[in-house]
Amino acid sequence: MSTTVDPRLGISGHVLRDAKAAGRAALVGYLPVGYPDVDHSIEAMRALAQGTDGIGVDMVEIGMPYSDPMMDGLAIQHATTRALERGVRTHDVFRAVEAVAVAGAVPLVMIYWNLVEQYGVEAFARDLAAAGGAGLITPDLTPDEAGPWLDASDAQGLDRVFLIAPSSTDERIAMTMANCRGWVYATSVMGVTGVRTQTSSAAPVIVDRARAADPSLPVGVGLGVSNGDQASVVGSYADAVIVGSALVKCLIDAEDAGSADLVRLRERVADLAAGVRRPVVPDDATVRGG
């Protein structure tokens, strides 16, 4: 593990850099707090950190349910709607952050900005830092409008991960990355999240464009990865592989079966963790162009 500290990388960026030094991409797993209920969602997040044999995700992306999401696919919409119906509240995210930190993974929170504003930007940053959180992923907040968050994250030493997309101009990518601390989140498709049979052909292109704009900041790729083979392919060109819907689907299937069993979730995480640790075989190159 690297011992040098780069302020630009914050907390989470060093996780990505250390994974790269180990010859692999980092694995980031998303689950929403509150589904199937708050206690079981936190237990599922611990399972993400552990897999089946102690090797799981490097970071947990803790999603805060929101009534009007802009990029969540059907599986995540289903889970977050149930979570809201069952009474999840914004303060529950801090319980989840504490649990993930204790479990040995780095907790990042993915949250729509209106919820942070309602809580109070400075208060949210204070409570997130106190709980052990690394920072925020804010899908609906652009750096142009993020003045209060830039100030609050600086004051608390938190990471701020903004998003870039295939539709972003080169100037927009450069500006967004200049305001990130930790890494930048590259969405690999235009549209909402969800499991896909092949990874997006736009993914390596947006990563290359990001690296051309700012080679010093790690790039994570999200949207569509569902298994270890896809994770291996995406990890061959990105610094982090982000998986959400495929993990949430494990919890939905368990609930539909009348179970709170996390075996399938652990097995999926183990497959993904193995994927980012193995080299891409030549035949898989066709997936990259998929």
Active site residues: 61, 72
Please list the helix, strand and coil fractions of the chain in percent, rounded to the nearest 5, in that order: 50, 15, 40
Give 289's contacts (C-beta < 8 A, 6+ positions apart). 201
Instruction: Enumerate the β-bridge partners of residue 219.
Output: 184
Nearest to 161 by CA among 133, 189, 132, 141: 141
- Residue at token pair 């204070």: 126
Sheet holding 26-32, edge to edge: 159-161, 135-137, 106-110, 59-63, 26-32, 240-243, 219-222, 184-187, 163-164
Find, among 276, 269, 246, the residue nearest to 55 by Cα.
Answer: 269
H or E stretch at 128: helix 121-131
| Rounded Cα distance, 103 and 123, in Å | 25
Burial of 27 (0-12, 13-18, 19+ CB in 10 A): buried
